Amino acid sequence: MGLIVTREDLIAARQCSAGGRAFFKRHKLDWSDFLKNGIDAEILIKINDVMANQVIEQARLRLWAEAKRSKR
């Protein structure tokens, strides 16, 4: 498993939970599991949605910032 996208990434991308729930329902993804465990970015990349890509980018930025902090 690679990059995990979380609810925090959704919020960082300035997207609302209602829109996220609708997106997950439309693509037959489990919203409850996402809230608990996140989702593999590869699943969202395959959907090829502009808003999903924004959330993935936030996840990448979070991972980069975490790696940078851990090197201190």
CA angle 66–68–71, rounded 5-degree value:
110
Nearest to 36 by CA among 1, 65, 3, 4: 4
Please, are residues 11 and 50 in contact by the beta-carbon 8 Å criterion?
A: no
Partner residues linked to 4 by β-bridges: 40
**CA dihedral defined by 39, 23, 31, 69, rounded to 10 degrees?**
40
Q: What is the pLDDT of residues 5-28, one digit of tens each?
A: 999 999 999 999 999 999 999 999
| Whether the predicted pLDDT of 1 surpasses 80 | no
pTM of the model: 0.89
- Helices 17-26 and 50-70 cross at an angle (nearest 10°) of 120
